[in-house]
């Protein structure tokens, strides 16, 4: 029997792809805000579509991606090691640079040991699924990053999700759970959409109460908050009370990759059992050298953390004063809630036309009716650039009826 024209065109398995038209529809409306190619960047500003705009949506918190010292560090090692490792850490892909970085990160974070991964995403996905196995329980915040969610799904453990930052809900769920099961609480240290810091002191108490491990994903916290930039647990002087802390290099460390720190035995187990570590090519030498230099700069130039905090406080206060809803942000991640998805796209476009680049975030990444522009700031933003961002938000906010002429 012959196939129909539709069947010849594609198989049933691909129907979902051919039926996906939303992106094309938004593009036709001229409102598509994603995958915008950067033609050049100096960190604070970027060239897009031949225009220079202020970058207010980057995770380059310390402003090191274009620092001459990080660039030189990357260039120098290329002459020694080449461009890649061509293998996994487990086999032929370990460099002395990898070991140096692991040792320095463990010391910096105040933990016994460290293991590197090729991306921040792989760090959480690969570590969680390895440490939590059959008959174990994972307690995961509902607002956790996708890589944590995937890690829980890939594990053989049962995952129980608790309401965002709701410690009493977490406690009630743990109280109902099997007392003999292995347990671990996993949460973002700083939540990537809201900029809210996890309630680490309360999490430590609950973990102790029920004999559970505690795992913090500090992708948006290390190199951003805490003593010397050591992350969310450090804010509360509780680093010793947290079992595992993960971080990423694609933000404050101006590179690509990720890491996990903790007790030596736990890290060695993950090093030898995590598929994401064993079966992925290792971080290229230029990436490792960039992180090493960034870590050095972070420790030698504490002004960057102080400036970043000052900028965050200023922008949060001024956006609130204009009348915008910024949720309860506590960090350089400052959401500006717009509401409807298409209103958010229109606001994004007008903001871009006004010379400011931000990130449009829509459901399911945020709740329905809570579409927002995710702004984030760098230690190297100038006062003039910050005020230009605020003025653009003011004008576009008034135009779209999000705020009034007098602010709040």
What pLDDT does residue 4 have? 55
Say whether pLDDT at 332 is over 90: yes
pLDDT of residue 267: 98
Beta strands in 91-226 (DSSP E): 113-117, 136-141, 158-162, 182-188, 213-217
pLDDT at 408 (0 to 100): 47
Contact (Cβ atoms closer than 8 angstroms) between residue 46 and residue 38: yes
Residue pLDDT, tens place only, 86-95:
999 999 999 9
The mean pLDDT of 280-291, rounded to a whole number, is 98
pLDDT of 372 higher than 60: yes
Q: Which residues contact 354 (CB under 8 A, 6 or more apart)?
A: 392, 395, 396
Number of helices followed by number of strands (H, E) in the chain: 16, 14
Mean pLDDT of the chain: 96
The pLDDT of residue 100: 98
List Cα–Cα distances, 83 to 55, 254, 289, 329, in angstroms.
29, 17, 12, 39
Confidence grade of residue 1 (pLDDT, cut at 50, 70, 90): very low
Tens digit of each residue's pLDDT (9 = 90 or more) over 19-75: 999 999 999 999 999 999 999 999 999 999 999 999 999 999 999 999 999 999 999
Indicate the SS3 state at residue 157. coil
Residues annotated as catalytic (active site), given as ranges = 192, 220, 251
pTM of the prediction? 0.96
pLDDT digits (tens, 9 = 90+) for 136-172: 999 999 999 999 999 999 999 999 999 999 999 999 9
Q: Is 128 helix (H, G, I), strand (E, B) or coil?
A: helix
Would you state the torsion angle of the CA atoms of residues 95, 101, 102, 107, taken in this order, to the nearest 10 degrees? 150
pLDDT band at residue 3 using 50, 70 and 90 as cut-offs:
low
Query: Alpha helix (H) ranges present in 132-229?
Result: 146-154, 167-176, 200-209
- Whether the Cβ atoms of residue 259 and residue 68 lie closer than 8 Å to each other: no
**CB-based contacts of 77, cutoff 8 Å, min separation 6:** 97, 285, 286, 288, 289
Tell me how far apart the alpha carbons of residues 396 and 320 are, in angstroms, rounded to a whole number. Answer: 15
Quick one: pLDDT band at residue 11, thresholds 50, 70, 90?
confident
Q: Which two tokens stand for residue 397?
A: 């906010």
At residue 8 the predicted structure's pLDDT band, cuts being 50, 70 and 90, is low
| Span 230-271, pLDDT tens digits | 999 999 999 999 999 999 999 999 999 999 999 999 999 999
* pLDDT for res 373: 98
Provide the pLDDT confidence category of residue 350 given band limits of 50, 70 and 90: very high
Confidence of residue 213 (pLDDT cuts 50, 70, 90): very high
Q: In the predicted model, what is the mean pLDDT of residues 168-189?
A: 98
The tokens of 314 are what? 């200023």
Please determine, for residue 407, whether its predicted confidence score (pLDDT) is greater than 90.
Answer: no
What contacts 306, CB < 8 A, 6 or more positions away? none
- C-alpha span between 271 and 342 (Å, rounded): 45
pLDDT band at 5 (very low <50, low <70, confident <90, very high): low
Domains of the chain plus CATH, in order, are 16-55+302-399 (3.90.1150.10), 68-300 (3.40.640.10)
* % of residues, the chain, pLDDT over 70: 97
User: CA 324 to CA 344: how far, in whole Å?
Assistant: 13
Quick one: tokens of 29?
A: 């409306």
pLDDT value, residue 174: 98
323 within 8 A of 404, measured Cβ to Cβ? yes
């Amino acid at each position: 029997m012959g196939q129909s024209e539709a069947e010849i065109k594609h198989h049933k398995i691909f129907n979902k792809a051919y039926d996906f038209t939303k992106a094309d529809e938004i593009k036709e409306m001229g409102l598509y805000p994603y995958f915008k190619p950067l033609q050049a960047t100096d960190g604070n500003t970027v060239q897009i579509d031949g225009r220079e705009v202020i970058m207010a949506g980057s995770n380059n918190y310390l402003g090191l991606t274009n620092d001459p010292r990080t660039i030189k560090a990357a260039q120098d090692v290329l002459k020694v090691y080449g461009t890649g490792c061509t293998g996994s850490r487990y086999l032929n892909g370990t460099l002395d640079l990898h070991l140096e970085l692991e040792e320095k990160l463990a010391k910096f974070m105040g933990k016994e040991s460290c293991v590197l991964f090729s991306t921040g995403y792989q760090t959480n996905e690969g570590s969680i699924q390895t440490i939590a196995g059959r008959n174990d329980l994972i307690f995961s915040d509902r607002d956790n990053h996708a890589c944590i969610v995937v890690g829980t799904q890939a594990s053989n453990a049962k995952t129980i999700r608790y309401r965002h930052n709701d410690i009493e809900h977490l406690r009630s769920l743990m109280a109902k759970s099997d007392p003999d099961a292995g347990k671990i609480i996993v949460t973002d240290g700083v939540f990537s959409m809201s900029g809210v810091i996890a309630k680490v002191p309360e999490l430590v108490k609950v973990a102790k109460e029920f004999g559970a491990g505690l795992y913090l994903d500090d992708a948006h916290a290390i190199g951003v908050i805490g003593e010397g930039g050591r992350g969310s647990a450090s804010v509360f002087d509780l680093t010793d009370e947290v079992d595992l802390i993960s971080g990423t290099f694609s933000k404050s460390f101006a590179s690509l990759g990720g890491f996990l720190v903790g007790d030596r035995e736990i890290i060695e187990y993950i090093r030898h059992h995590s598929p994401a570590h064993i079966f992925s090519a290792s971080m290229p030498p230029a990436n490792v050298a960039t992180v090493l230099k960034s870590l050095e700069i972070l420790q030698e130039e504490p002004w960057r953390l102080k400036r970043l905090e000052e900028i965050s406080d200023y922008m949060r206060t001024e956006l609130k004063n204009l009348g915008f809803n910024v949720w309860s942000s506590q960090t350089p991640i400052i959401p500006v809630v717009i509401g409807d998805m298409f209103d958010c796209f229109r606001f994004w476009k007008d903001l871009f036309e006004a010379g400011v680049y931000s990130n449009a975030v829509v459901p399911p990444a945020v709740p329905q009716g809570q579409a927002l522009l995710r702004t984030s700031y760098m230690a190297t933003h100038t006062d003039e650039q910050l005020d230009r961002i605020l003025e653009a938000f003011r004008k576009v906010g008034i135009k779209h009826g999000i705020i009034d002429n007098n602010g709040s």
